[in-house]
Chains A and B, each alone.
Chain A
Amino acid sequence: MNINKKLGFSGVMFYVVNIIFMINVFGILLSVIVNSFGTSWNKGTWLPDSFSIKWWDYLAGYHDIRHLLWITMLITLLTVIFSLIIAYPAAYVIAKRRFVGKNIITTLFLLPLLIPPISYGLPLAILIYKVKLATTIAGVVIVNMVPTVSFMILVIMPFIEQIGDNVESASRMLGANKLQFFSRILIPLTIPGILSASILSIVRVISLFELTFLVCGAKTQTLIVTLFSDVNSPGFRPYQMIDALAVIFFLLTIVLATISMKVGNPTSIYSKI
């Protein structure tokens, strides 16, 4: 019995909102790309006056792009690696063990995902400044680890739950100790989960703005913070150049996001619960 033959109000909403949404997002991204390749575009025409790559050259001279990309990837990878080391054992215990206070601990682990970064970021940043860790790579990595640890626990948990208890029991019976069980059985079996969590986290950390913005220094800013500063710091920077930087960021994120889609479940990038 097909109840859905007619396109009711919700159907109309679906098509209208989705189409408007997608057209505008597409338009936003396209105008950034086009602008970065145009010479000038301020006379109210549909396309820039002419095309060139001069603003890309300008960008290369204005920012040390190589250093920027290097710092961004360094901070991202350090964040992901350290978060993984902390998150994996915690995910294992939550997935497989019962213990007093499990609910509270689980809530603690999930809270950073539910609370917007600026809310805990500002007090945290003040703290980081007080302990003199601000503007260092360590400080930036620490703040970015907060949502990342939670996210990784969330993503890795189902992968560990999937491994039946009997696998662990069998390995213990055959004489393996805990370390051997972990290194030779559990971790290899959960590699898809580890990969998935890592790549998804890499994508997330690259886009994390507020946390890094509040604690970074001139030499430790990530790509997204530089993009923001170009737009909002005092001084004039041509928008074509800023858009070129935006395109670099966009390409980096899109490539990584596409890779992560192949590796993991697509909607888990975005699930906060």
Chain B
Amino acid sequence: MERRKGWSAETTAFLFPAVVFLLVVFIYPFIYAIQLSLTDGMGAVTLANYIKYFTNVVEMKTILITLKISLPVTILSIVLAVSIAYFMRRGIKHEKLISFFLMLPMTLGVVLIAEGMITYFGRNGWVMMLLEQLGFVADRTSLIHNYFGVVMSLFIQTFPMGLIILIGYTSGIHPSLEMAATMLGATKAQTFWKIMLPLMMPGVLIAFALNFTSAFSVFTSAIMLGQPTSLTRVMAYAAYVHAYEYYDYNFSATICIIMIIIQLIIIGFVFALRNRLYKGASAVGKG
């Protein structure tokens, strides 16, 4: 059994295809995008794209729109996922079946769910009919083709993902910790806030990061269930339009890079927040 730390011929040969493939097709595009964003159409290095972006009101608005859509969805997803994962920490009956149904939207993909939502949540859809029959609304309107539709679709896609991650974390906390807390006199609420939640924090942060990046990159939902040219003009859509309709690849790449930077800033901020709130060991109890 080789214990060398160097790259043997075998290691290199086996890793080579995958590493090269991902470097070329995954890492290089990012570098290419950075390069594109810092050059103009002729290839000269310039900051013009960034200046153009930050002085353009319409484009700056997309940042706000995208944040307005992604942050509430992510926070709601995480809050609900935390409480439900906490409830499911010991396992529940039919867990596999429930997981299957929760995952169904992700398996089917955004397009199918969004397309179905157009019928289901539309003016003549069942939801509106029910609300009208129950007397909640006087006049049927469409629940989609607006901010609400995009948010709903995003929630359907991101919530299950966060839940699965958090269930992994809550079920990994040893039950004896909980029992010890109760024996020492803590109420259930105290146990949750002072013991369970701090231990779950790594999972909460990971789930938040994943959910947020996924939500911030919203594209399909904004087109199918929103008004991509006005109300729900999200950053991903703006980047797409500049590449595919205006053929301004440089500016499109600029938008992509700014998107990544914003995502990193927000995630960094959340991680920093956590360090200020929960000092101390959080690895106790999880193998």
Contact = CB atoms under 8 A, between A and B. Distances in A.
A266 B18 contact: no
B278 interface: no
B141 to A, nearest CB: 12
A25 B80 CA distance: 18
B213 A86 contact: no
Interface string B206-228: 10001001101101100110000
Interface in B91-147: 96, 98-120, 123-129, 140
B84 A13 contact: yes
Interface string A43-59: 11110000000000000
Contact of A32 (B13, B22, B116): B116
B115 A242 contact: yes
A189 B23 CA distance: 30
Nearest to A46: B129
Contacts of A231: 114-115, 118, 224
Contacts of B216: 116
Given A21-B102, A43-B124, A178 B10 contact: yes
B104 to A, nearest CB: 6
A73 interface: no
Interface stretch (B50-58, B236-244, B268-276): B236-244
B84 A32 contact: no
B101 A270 contact: no
A98 B5 contact: yes
Given A99-B6, A269-B107, A28 B217 contact: no
B116 A28 contact: yes
Interface string A107-132: 01101101111111011111100000
Contact of B206 (A109, A123, A273): A273
A124 B14 contact: no
Contact of B129 (A44, A92, A250): A44
Given A10-B87, A105-B19, A126-B243, A119 B119 contact: no
Nearest to B181: A3
Nearest to A230: B115
Nearest to A227: B111
Contact of A86 (B4, B17, B109): B17
B111 A145 contact: no
A243 B253 CA distance: 35
A203 B105 CA distance: 13
A31 B84 contact: no
Given A11-B87, A43-B124, A270-B164, A243 B115 contact: yes
Interface of A is mostly: helix
Contact of A122 (B3, B11, B115, B252): B252
A80 interface: no
B103 A267 contact: yes
Contacts of A24: 120, 127, 156
Nearest to B34: A123
Contacts of A224: 109, 111-112
Given A18-B98, A116-B214, A124-B29, A97 B256 contact: no
A227 B224 CA distance: 11
A210 B220 contact: yes
Contacts of B102: 18, 21-22
B18 A97 contact: no
Contacts of A92: 14
A100 B7 contact: yes
Contacts of A153: 18
Question: Most chain-A CB neighbours within 10 Å: which of B36, B120, B161?
Answer: B120
Contacts of A4: 90
Contacts of B128: 44
A158 B151 CA distance: 36
Interface of B: 1-8, 10-11, 13-15, 17-19, 21-23, 25-30, 32-33, 36, 80, 83-84, 86-88, 90, 96, 98-120, 123-129, 140, 156, 159-161, 164-165, 178-179, 182, 188, 206, 210, 213-214, 216-217, 219-220, 223-224, 236, 239-240, 243, 249, 252-253, 256, 259-260
Interface of A: 1, 3-4, 8-11, 13-14, 17-18, 21-22, 24-25, 27-29, 31-32, 35, 41-46, 85-87, 89-90, 92-93, 97-100, 105, 108-109, 111-112, 114-120, 122-127, 142-143, 145-146, 149-150, 153, 165, 169, 178, 203, 206-210, 214, 224, 227-228, 231-232, 239, 242-243, 246, 249-250, 253-254, 257, 261, 266-267, 269-273
